[in-house]
Chain A
Amino acid sequence: MPKKNIAVYTATGCRTCELALLDIHYQVQRLHRVADIVYWPYLLGSQHAELARLEAIDICFYAGAVRTHSERQMAELLRAKSRFMVALGSCAGFGGLPGLVNLATRTGPPAAVEPPADASDPPLELAALEPQVAGLTQVVAVDYVVPGCPPTQNLVWSALQGVLCEAGSQAHLSYAASRLPQKVAQAMASGVRPPLGTVFAGEKAVCASCSRVKEQKRFESVKRPYQAYESTGRCLLEQGLVCSGIATREGCGGLCTGVGIPCRGCFGKAEAVYDPGAKMVAAISSTFDADKPQKIDAVADQFLDMVGTFYRYTLPTQCALLNIQEKG
Chain B
Amino acid sequence: MQTVIIDPLRWQAAPSRVVLSTNGSKPQARFQVTAPRNVEAMALGRPVEELPRILSILSPSHHIVAAQALDHLFGVEPPPPAATMRRALLETLFFIEHMQKIYFLLTAWEHPFRDLRQAGRGAAASPVPSALPDEIMHALSLAQEGAAILGGRSAHPLTAIAGGVSRYLKEDAYPRLAAIADQCRPAARRVTAAIRESLLSAGRPLAAFREIAVPLAHLSLAPPSESRKDEIAIVRNTGDEPPVQFAIEEIPTKISVHQEPWSYQPFAYLQADGWPGLSSERPKGLFFVGPLARLNDGQSLSAAAAEEERLRLIEEMGPFPHYSVAAAFWALLIEALEAVERMVALYQKEQLIGPSIRTVPAQMGALGMAALESPAGLIFHEYRVNSHGIVEELRVLDTTTANNALRCLVAQRIAESGVELRHNRQETKTRMEIGLLPF
Residues of A within 8 A of B (CB): 10-16, 19-20, 22-23, 25-27, 29, 31-33, 36-37, 41-45, 47-48, 67-68, 70-71, 97-98, 100-101, 103-104, 106-110, 112-114, 120-127, 129, 149-150, 224-228, 231, 255-256, 258-261, 264, 304-305, 308-309
Interface 9-mer from B27-35, B193-201, B216-224, B304-312: B27-35
| Contact among A11, A27, A124, A226 for B141, CB-based, below 8 A | A27
17 example contacts (A-B, Cβ-Cβ < 8 A) are as follows A10-B15, A12-B35, A14-B13, A25-B112, A26-B134, A44-B112, A97-B54, A104-B38, A107-B38, A120-B21, A120-B23, A126-B34, A126-B262, A150-B156, A225-B49, A231-B167, A264-B53
Q: A108-B264, A110-B259, A305-B45 are in contact. Are A259 and B113 (CB under 8 A)?
A: no
Tell me the number of A-to-B contacts counted with CB atoms below 8 Å: 201
A-B pairs with the 5 shortest C-beta distances?
A: A104-B41, A124-B262, A122-B21, A260-B166, A259-B152
Pair B3/A123 contact, Cβ less than 8 Å: yes
| Contact among B15, B44, B59, B155 for A150, CB-based, below 8 A | B155
Pair A224/B47 contact, Cβ less than 8 Å: yes
B263 is an interface residue with CB less than 8 A from chain A: yes
Pair A41/B10 contact, Cβ less than 8 Å: yes
Nearest CB of A to B179, in Å: 18
Q: Which residues of B contact A12 (CB under 8 A)?
A: 35-37
Which residue of B has the minimal Cβ distance to A41?
A: B8
Q: Which residues of A contact B155 (CB under 8 A)?
A: 16, 19-20, 150
Q: Which residues of A contact B389 (CB under 8 A)?
A: 224, 226, 304
Q: Which residues of B contact A25 (CB under 8 A)?
A: 112-113
Where chain B touches its partner, the secondary structure class is loop
B322 is an interface residue with CB less than 8 A from chain A: no
Q: A124-B19, A305-B390 are in contact. Are A228 and B360 (CB under 8 A)?
A: yes
B interface, size bucket: 35 or more
| Contact among A104, A113, A123 for B261, CB-based, below 8 A | A113
In chain B, residues 158-176, which have Cβ atoms closer than 8 Å to a Cβ of chain A? 158-159, 161-163, 166-168
Which residue of B has the minimal Cβ distance to A70?
A: B34
C-alpha spacing A321/B107, complex, angstroms: 47
C-alpha spacing A104/B158, complex, angstroms: 25
C-alpha spacing A162/B241, complex, angstroms: 62
Pair B49/A45 contact, Cβ less than 8 Å: no
C-alpha spacing A258/B148, complex, angstroms: 12
Q: A47-B7, A126-B34 are in contact. Are A26 and B114 (CB under 8 A)?
A: no
Q: Which residues of B contact A70 (CB under 8 A)?
A: 34
| Contact among A14, A224, A260 for B57, CB-based, below 8 A | A14
C-alpha spacing A108/B257, complex, angstroms: 13
Q: Which residues of A contact B275 (CB under 8 A)?
A: none
B388 is an interface residue with CB less than 8 A from chain A: yes
C-alpha spacing A308/B159, complex, angstroms: 20
B414 is an interface residue with CB less than 8 A from chain A: no
Nearest CB of A to B52, in Å: 10
C-alpha spacing A113/B259, complex, angstroms: 11
